[in-house]
């Protein structure tokens, strides 16, 4: 067995935990990861890698080149969330109102340890680009890295990424030969009626009534117009109208999100929400403007790359610990942009140890350090599977 498939030494594992705790104590929001990216770059330079900073703002790419072999990309996200940490670990956030509530500190530590492990393995041959990506949560940092020339400056045959996954037991992996995460688009519908006195509705045109019809009608799109075998979810999450008990407002605004697991369904939902949003108010002699904004695409794994992850994970963990072609998540992930530009796969690393992990984005969430070793072996295994 090649040495890069060995488990981390105790010393390496302790170091990786230290890096993770340091990142956790100093979380930074998307595109503000200045300390984070400086710390990551310094470590990577220490491993003797060629390091490029500033890609996508605060992104970092480090390249290991040794001998012949295809180039493979491995990606970790590095941003934190605007959440006040309530846990009391020694490494708890020192930045008020900001914390690593999604485990991106852990993903970064896994990728750093992978970079160190591979760069120390004399029997590794090939090229690996270690991609540390900013602003996964809302800022589409992956897209910005692509716009900054990620795939032109660092050509790669495939790209892989992982996310720790509460709800899946530690020691298990889940990967699908297709959709892993949903697309996420947002809409805003501004209904314009005509303001009036609450005592004399006939003198105006009440947009609140139109808004309530709109909410009901929007919710028929998924249940009546999308096949029950296709996944889609529409949520109206905001309704804004009115300023006083006795005034019929002039406008009412609805906002919400649409998530889908297939690009064709996504496109259809966009058309249907836009058409309904624009035309339903006309039946009430009101007008509406629809703003539909495309967010993260569907995270669609390349089937061959997903099968490779499955094979590597099965060899390490045995078949019954690898979930293949299971349910995708209706949450979204900007790794989707990387997968639009390059074949690859995104997989989940079970996070529930002896104690179940808190959910992602929970104020007392803390990445499970026990996952670091397995994460490194999986990424090393995937890269190693390309060895000539």
Task: Please give the residue ranges that form the binding site for Ni ion (CB under 5 A).
Answer: 102
Question: Strand order in 251-260's β-sheet?
Answer: 232-241, 251-260, 183-192, 287-293
CB of 75 to Ni ion, least distance (A): 12
- 105: number of CA atoms within 13 Å, CB side? 31
Residue with smaller CB distance to Ni ion, 80 or 189 = 80
Cβ 296 to Ni ion shortest distance, Å = 12
Return d(Cα 338, Cα 142) in angstroms, integer: 7
CB of 79 to Ni ion, least distance (A): 9
Of the pair 106, 126, the CB lying nearest Ni ion is at: 106
User: Rounded distance, CA 143 to CA 364, Å?
Assistant: 30
CB 128 within 8 A of CB 74: yes
Q: Nearest 5°: phi and psi at 232?
A: -155, 145
Tell the smallest beta-carbon distance from residue 163 to Ni ion (Å). 6
Smallest distance from the beta carbon of 136 to Ni ion, in angstroms?
Answer: 6
- To Ni ion, the closest distance from the beta carbon of 144 in angstroms equals 17
CB of 104 to Ni ion, least distance (A): 6
Question: By C-beta, is 64 or 102 nearer to Ni ion?
Answer: 102
* Minimum distance, C-beta of residue 60 to Ni ion, in the bound complex (Å): 18
Pick the closer one to Ni ion by CB: 253 or 368.
368
Q: Which is nearer to Ni ion, 48 or 363 (CB)?
A: 363
**Closer of 12 and 183 to Ni ion (Cβ):** 183
Residue 269, helix vs strand vs coil: helix
CA dist., res. 162 & res. 110, Å (int): 10
How far, in Å, CA of 146 to CA of 291, rounded? 26
To which residue do tokens 């003797």 refer?
48
Which residue's CB comes closest to Ni ion?
102
Tokens coding 68? 């012949």
CA distances from residue 163 to 13, 15, 256, 339, 365 in whole angstroms, order as listed: 19, 21, 26, 15, 14
Identify which of residues 80 and 248 has a Cβ nearer to Ni ion in the complex: 80
Residue 76 or 102 with smaller CB distance to Ni ion: 102
- DSSP assignment of 353-381: -SSPPPPTT-TT----TTHHHHHHHHHHH
């Amino acid at each position: 067995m090649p040495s890069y498939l060995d488990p981390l030494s105790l010393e390496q594992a302790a170091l990786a935990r230290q890096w993770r705790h340091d990142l956790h104590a100093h979380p930074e929001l998307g595109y503000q990861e200045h300390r984070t990216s400086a710390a990551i770059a310094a470590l990577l330079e220490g491993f003797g890698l060629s390091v490029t900073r500033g890609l996508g703002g605060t992104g970092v790419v480090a390249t290991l080149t040794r001998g012949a072999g295809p180039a493979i990309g491995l990606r970790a996200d590095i941003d934190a969330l605007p959440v006040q940490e309530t846990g009391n670990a020694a490494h708890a956030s020192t930045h008020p109102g900001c914390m690593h509530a999604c485990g991106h500190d852990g993903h970064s530590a896994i990728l750093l340890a992978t970079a160190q492990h591979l760069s120390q393995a004399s029997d590794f041959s090939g090229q690996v680009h270690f991609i540390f990506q900013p602003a996964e949560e809302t800022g589409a940092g992956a897209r910005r890295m692509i716009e900054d020339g990620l795939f032109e400056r660092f050509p790669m045959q495939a790209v892989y990424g992982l996310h720790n996954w509460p709800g899946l037991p530690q020691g298990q992996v889940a990967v699908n030969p297709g959709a892993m995460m949903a697309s996420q688009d947002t809409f805003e519908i501004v209904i314009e009626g005509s303001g009036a006195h609450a005592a004399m509705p006939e003198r105006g045109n009440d947009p609140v009534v139109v808004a309530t019809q709109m909410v009901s009608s929007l919710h028929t799109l998924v249940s009546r117009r999308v096949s029950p075998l296709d996944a889609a979810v529409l949520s109206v999450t905001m309704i804004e109208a009115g300023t006083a008990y006795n005034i019929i407002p002039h406008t009412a605004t609805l906002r919400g999100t649409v998530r889908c697991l297939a690009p064709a369904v996504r496109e259809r939902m966009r058309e249907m929400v836009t058409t309904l949003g624009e035309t339903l108010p006309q039946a009430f002699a009101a007008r509406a403007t629809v703003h539909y904004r495309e967010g993260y695409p569907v995270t669609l794994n390349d089937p061959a790359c997903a099968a490779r992850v499955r094979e590597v994970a099965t060899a390490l963990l045995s078949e019954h610990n690898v979930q293949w072609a299971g349910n995708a998540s209706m949450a979204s992930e900007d790794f989707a942009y990387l997968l639009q530009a390059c074949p690859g796969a995104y997989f989940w690393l079970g996070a529930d140890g002896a104690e179940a992990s808190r959910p992602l984005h929970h104020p007392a969430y803390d990445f499970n350090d026990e996952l670091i070793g397995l994460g490194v072996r999986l990424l090393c295994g995937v890269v190693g599977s390309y060895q000539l």
